[in-house]
Amino acid sequence: MGSPTAATSGRSSPSANHYDIVIVGAGPVGLMLSTLLARWGYKIKHIDNRAEPTPRGRADGIQPRSLDLLQNMGLKAPIMANNPAKVFEVAFWEPSPDGGDGIVKTGSWPSCPPFLEARYPFTTLLHQGLIERVFIDDLAKHGVEIQRPWTITDFKTSNKHPDYPVEVDLDRDDGLFQQKLYAKYLFSGEGARSNIRQALGIQVTYKDPISYVWAVMDGVVQTDFPSIKMKCTIHSKHGSIMVIPRENSMVRLYIRIASSSDPDFNPRKTATEEEVQATAKKILSPYKITWENVDWFSIYPIGQGIATNYTLDQRVFLGGDACHTHSPKAGQGMNTAFLDAQNLAWKIHAVESGFASREILKTYETERKAVAEELLAFDNKYAQLFSQQAPPKSAQEHDTSTIHVNEFVDTFKKACAFTSGYGVKYGPSDICWSVAHNAQSNLICPEDVKVTPGRLMVTADVTRVADANVVALEQEVPENGAFRLYIFAGTPSQSKLAALRDFAKYSSTSGSYLGAYARPDADGEVSYHETHNPHSHHFTLSTIFAAKHEELDMTTLTLPPLLTRYRDHIYADDVTDRRLSQGVAAAHSKVGVNLDQGLVLVVRPDGYIGISVLLVEGTGTVEALNKYFNSFCTKTLSLATSE
């Protein structure tokens, strides 16, 4: 995997106080947005009102889907260098059935069961400050430094510089310095008490009428409680606790100390460290627990709120906690924030690099708000799940075939999908094909294809033909802001090679999705070592054959030069998947590709599927792709007008 290449042409700002984007807040959502846009060459002003990164505590759970994203950005290794705890299972402890004071373990569940096919089926636990530092180090490599402690004092739409319509006033914390900037975009990653949201008059609605006060404590303990290194929920006569293991032998305890359903509810209720520890001791009894130290302790009220809008004008955007707040139990805050930022980043890039029309920016709110609403609606069900008794034995089996389909298990499966981050399905839009889409062709999304627009690309191991390395197909294109075309070519055959030649021929014309957005230097000036974007900054093409890699002899298989130019993106689907029978082409099978036919799978820059189109001889495949991209691209794509 090389480093992503930016489409940097034409993005020089007219003067020093002009920025592509001003980002306010350097928590997870702001840092993810900043890190992605910095890699793609944008000019960023990033401020935070805290004098330094989070020193300890706060958010701590990186879900499997987020880890995929971090890996795709090359940031998983530095995260893992901190030796985080990994949670594979959730254990359940209930009051002792003998009616006594004690607790007993009643069961456990995988936190990310095999049916989700996660590449990393565990939650990674690390305090927010260590995670922030990984982003801050990466930003520094791309020349972006967080300016702190600074705050935003005002912003407005301005005509002074039409290309930079957002006027922003910033103030250093000590009041000694002010800056007035002009930006194309302004982003609030300020957290739940977003000033920008309030200035815009955007309301927050609370889905759950009940709000809670939580105590949370990170520390090093000594205990004989056997599940101390697992995530667990403990219910006892003395109250409830959630236990989450942490890096550096630490453990986090969440204790709910008040609920708006309590008769004497007080949202400002508080408790001391000692009180919380005393409660924890009672709940864990007969097991003993003592603290060697407490690293972080906090009490906070939290409601399940959601902003009515994520943007009003597609110039000023909100994301993360500024848009939605959750109970800490499902560990969704930071993860939802990461994916908010990723969703917005590529769309801003697609617009500002001249590829997509400004309209696609509206899908940020429709896509991400729907996810937040689903999550919040789900949170109640999830809460119920955790207060129930242990699941039936069958739910604990790792093999999907033995899971009985009953309501409980169904809720559990959905819960896992949500908490792992794999439950997201973006709804129909110009970028997520549906039967209502403008693009119509009998080649589009045929019935036997198993993958759906709006869902994530499948995970699959394949062999990279150039160097015979076994690689993760879904990770092979880095987070480079480009659409990913996976050409599943099935079994090699003469007719298939003819279809590939036609695909290459028509994709190379000036009226195609690819030709219309060719790099200005595509005619001979592109570096020999450019592996991801040799033809266009907006596309990376990968070709996958259902054949053994030894047999895919590149010297005799005469693929069209358009495809072979992607030297490191030609794969053999010949790695055994333990979930499928031996020898079958696992990636093709998961996608649902007819091996005699072939399929082009279009994956958005964020990894979600846009559309699939059958691979056929003639112009049909490229014409169908043109129709799809026509619905949101800036140019009119047509083979008829091609040179």
Q: How far is the CB of 639 from its own copies (least distance, A)?
A: 30
Residue 32 has which token pair? 């993810």
Residue (410 or 551) nearer to its own copies, CB: 551
State the Cα angle at 500 between 571 and 520, rounded to 5°.
85
Residues 6+ apart with CB under 8 A from 274: none
Least Å distance, CB 615 to its own copies, is: 24
How near is the Cβ of 562 to its own copies at its closest, in Å?
A: 15
Comparing CB distances to its own copies, the nearer of 107 and 301 is 107
Residue 417 CB, shortest distance to its own copies, in Å, is 20
Q: How far is the CB of 26 from its own copies (least distance, A)?
A: 25
Measured from the CB atom, the residue of 207 and 567 that comes closer to its own copies is 567
* Min separation Cβ 418 and its own copies, Å: 20
Nearer to its own copies, 203 or 389 (CB): 389
Q: Which is nearer to its own copies, 130 or 183 (CB)?
A: 130
Compute the distance between CA of residue 544 and CA of residue 566 in angstroms, rounded to an integer. 12
Q: Which residues contact its own copies by CB under 8 A?
A: 77, 80-81, 85-89, 104-105, 107-108, 110, 122, 220, 222, 226, 229-230, 245, 249, 292, 396, 466-470, 528-529, 550, 553-555, 568, 576, 578
To its own copies, the closest distance from the beta carbon of 372 in angstroms equals 30
Nearer to its own copies, 145 or 292 (CB): 292
Q: How far is the CB of 456 from its own copies (least distance, A)?
A: 23
Residue with smaller CB distance to its own copies, 442 or 556: 556
CA–CA distance, 47 with 26 (Å, rounded to integer): 7
Q: Compare residues 467 and 596 and give the one whose CB is closer to its own copies.
A: 467
Strand residue runs (E) in 432-553 = 461-464, 469-472, 483-490, 539-545
Spatial separation of the C-alpha atoms in residues 226 and 244, rounded to whole Å: 13
DSSP annotation of 328 reads G
Q: Identify the CA nearest to 321 among candidates 146, 133, 188.
A: 188
Closest CA to 630 of 516, 485, 482, 501: 516
CA 124 to CA 82: how far, in whole Å? 11
- 416 contacts: CB under 8 Å, gap ≥ 6: 109, 110, 111, 112, 113, 116
Hunting for tokens 């006027």 — which residue is that?
Answer: 167
Residue 454 burial (CB count, 10 A):
20
**Smallest separation, CB 64 to its own copies (Å):** 14
* Token code pair at residue 625: 């792709």
Residue whose CB is less far from its own copies, 229 or 256 = 229
Give the total residue count for the chain.
Answer: 643
Query: The tokens of 479 are what?
Result: 């987070």
Q: Which amino acid is at 276?
A: V
Residue 202 vs 504, nearer CB to its own copies: 504
Q: How far is the CB of 349 from its own copies (least distance, A)?
A: 25
Across 414-555, the runs of DSSP E, i.e. the strands, are 461-464, 469-472, 483-490, 539-545
Between 457 and 477, whose beta carbon lies closer to its own copies?
477
Q: State how far the Cα of 505 lies from the Cα of 29, in Å rounded to an integer.
A: 42
DSSP states of 418-478: HHHTTT--PPPSSSS--TTSS---TTBS-TT----TTSBPPP-EEEETTTTEEEEGGGSS-
Q: Rounded to the nearest whole angstrom, what is the least distance from the CB of residue 78 to its own copies in the complex?
A: 8
352, burial (CB in 10 Å: exposed 0-12, middle 13-18, buried 19+): buried
Q: In angstroms, what is the minimal distance from the CB of 92 to its own copies?
A: 11
Contact 166, 28 (CB under 8 A): no
Rounded to whole angstroms, how far apart are CA atoms 461 and 451? 17
CB-nearer residue toward its own copies: 193 or 578: 578
Q: Output 73 or 230, the one with its CB closest to its own copies.
A: 230
> Residue with structure tokens 């004690």?
102
How far apart are CB 623 and its own copies at their closest, in Å?
A: 32
In the DSSP assignment, the letter for residue 484 is E
Please say whether the dihedral angle defined by the alpha carbons of residues 381, 387, 392 and 398, taken in this order, is positive or negative. positive
Q: How many CB atoms lie within 10 A of CB 103?
A: 22
At 189 the three-state DSSP class reads coil
